[in-house]
Amino acid sequence: MSTSSSPERVSQSEEEPRPAKRARLEQQDATKQSPQSALISTVPSHTKAEGLWLDDGSVILLAESTQFRVHRTVLSMHSPILADILNKPVGDRIEGCPVFPLSSSARDVTNFLKYLYDPLDLDTGGKVVYPVMFGVLHLSAKYGVSKLRSKSFSLLGLQVLTSLESVNKLRYAELTPEMMWWLIQAINIGREINMLELLPGAFYLCCAMPTEFILRGVSLDGVEARLSVGDRASCLLGRDRLLDVQQQETWSFLYNPQASSACTDDKRCSSRILKPLWQSCRYSPLTTPRTLSVYRYWDDLVDDKYCCRNCSDKLREDQEIAVEGAWKKLPEYFSLGSWEDLRGHGT
Ligand SMILES: [Zn+2]
C-alpha cells in the first residue's frame, strides 16, 4: 500500500512504543438531528445518485433514499447473487425500471457500484480511504464479487494481521484514530466475511488502545466503528491474559532474570541487567501488552558489560521461543479456539 496512512508504515526505530496519543472521540452528539431536521427526514424524498443514474440503465437499486439506475446485465455478469435478486419480480417501477430496495447504506452502494463499473479506479495509487474501502469489501463479499473483494481486501492491507512479524511491526505504529478505526473494522469485517484468521492479530493490537476507545468505538469521516458487546469483552479479557503471559513467559526476565548455566561472570549478570532492562520499558504504559515483542538490545548489554555473551544469548533465545509459543496460543487468549480452527473457516 502506498498511502501515507498505511498501517504498514511504521516506525521501527523505537524499542518501546510511545504512549498512545489521546485521540479525540468525535462528538457523537454533533451528528444528532434537531427536532426539525428529524421531522423533515421522515418525509420520503428519493434522490437520483449523482453519476450512477444511467439513462439506459434497466434496473433501479434503492439504498436509503438514493436511487441508482444501473444495468441488470452488468451487475449479473459480476455477481450471481445480484443476478438472482434482480430477476425476482417486484411491484414498484420508476420510469419503467423495476425498483429493488437494498438494506445497505447509500454511501456503501455508491462506492461499490463505482468500482464495479470502473475497477481501474482502484489502481490509481491514491490514498485509501478506509470507510470507502471497507464498504466496498463489505458489499463485494456480500454479493460474491470475488475480484473486487480480493482487491479491496488487499488495498485495506488486512493481510498484515496474519503474521507475527507484521503484527509486531504494527505494534509500534502510531495509534491514530484512523488506525484504531481500521483495527476495529478489521475485527468486524473478519467476522462478517468469515475471515476469522484476522481476529487474533487485530484483537492483540486493539489491546493497545485506550480502554475508552475499546468500549465506545471511534468515528472516521462520520462512520462509526464499534466492537460488538461480546468482542469488547473478549478484547478486555484477552488483554488481562496477555499481560499475564508477558509477565510469566515472554518478558519474565524483567521480574526474575536467570543467568545462563554457562555464565562467564559467576552468574552475577542476572542482577546487573535488571536496571537497563527496566529503563528500556519506562515509557511503556503498564496496561499496554507487548507480549509478542522482543527485546532488541542484548548486544548493547554485552558491550556495556551488564551481562556476559552467554547470558544474553540464553535470554534472547528464551524470549524468542516464548514469543513463538504466545503467537501460537494468541487465538486462545481471545477465546477464538486455535489457528487451525480459524483458518478452517476461511472462504
Ligand atoms: Zn552471564
**CA 273, CA 270: separation in Å to the nearest integer?**
6
* Apex 40 CA angle, 37 and 46, nearest 5: 120
Return the DSSP state at 145.
Answer: -
Q: How far is the centre of ligand 1, averaged over its atoms, from the C-alpha of 264 (Å)?
A: 5
Q: How far is the centre of ligand 1, averaged over its atoms, from the C-alpha of 289 (Å)?
A: 28
Instruction: List, for residues 63-84, the tens digit of each pLDDT value.
Output: 999 999 999 999 999 999 999 9
Q: How far is the centre of ligand 1, averaged over its atoms, from the C-alpha of 308 (Å)?
A: 4
Q: How far is the centre of ligand 1, averaged over its atoms, from the C-alpha of 173 (Å)?
A: 34
pLDDT at res. 40: 43
Residues in CB range of 169: below 8 A, 6 or more apart: 8, 10, 12, 160
DSSP strand E in 155-251: where?
A: 218-220, 223-225
Instruction: List, for residues 16-48, the tens digit of each pLDDT value.
Output: 433 333 344 433 333 444 444 444 444 457 899
**What string of DSSP letters covers 270-308?**
HHHTHHHHHHHTTTS-TTS--TT-----HHHHHHTTSS-
More confident residue, 203 or 126: 203
Q: How far is the centre of ligand 1, averaged over its atoms, from the C-alpha of 247 (Å)?
A: 22
66-75, 123-132, 142-151, 324-333, range with the lowest pLDDT: 123-132
Instruction: List, for residues 291-307, the tens digit of each pLDDT value.
Output: 999 999 999 999 999 99
pTM over 0.85: no
pLDDT at res. 236: 97
Lookup: cell for 43: 418525509
Q: How far is the centre of ligand 1, averaged over its atoms, from the C-alpha of 300 (Å)?
A: 14
Q: How far is the centre of ligand 1, averaged over its atoms, from the C-alpha of 309 (Å)?
A: 7
Q: Which of 142, 242, 250, 228 is nearest to 200 (CA)?
A: 242
Going from the C-alpha of 74 to that of each of 36, 58, 90, the distances in angstroms are 41, 10, 19
Residue 7's CB is within 10 A of a number of other CB atoms, namely 24
Percentage of residues in the chain having pLDDT higher than 90: 72
End-to-end CA distance of the chain, in Å? 23
Q: How far is the centre of ligand 1, averaged over its atoms, from the C-alpha of 276 (Å)?
A: 15
Find the helix packing angle between 199-206 and 164-171, rounded to 10°: 20
Q: Which amino acid is at 291?
A: T
The sign of the dihedral angle between the CA atoms of 337, 192, 220, 230 is negative
Average pLDDT over residues 286-292: 90
Q: How far is the centre of ligand 1, averaged over its atoms, from the C-alpha of 321 (Å)?
A: 20
Instruction: List, for residues 205-238, the tens digit of each pLDDT value.
Output: 999 999 999 999 999 999 999 999 999 999 999 9
Q: How far is the centre of ligand 1, averaged over its atoms, from the C-alpha of 283 (Å)?
A: 27
- Radius of gyration from C-alpha coordinates of the chain: 25
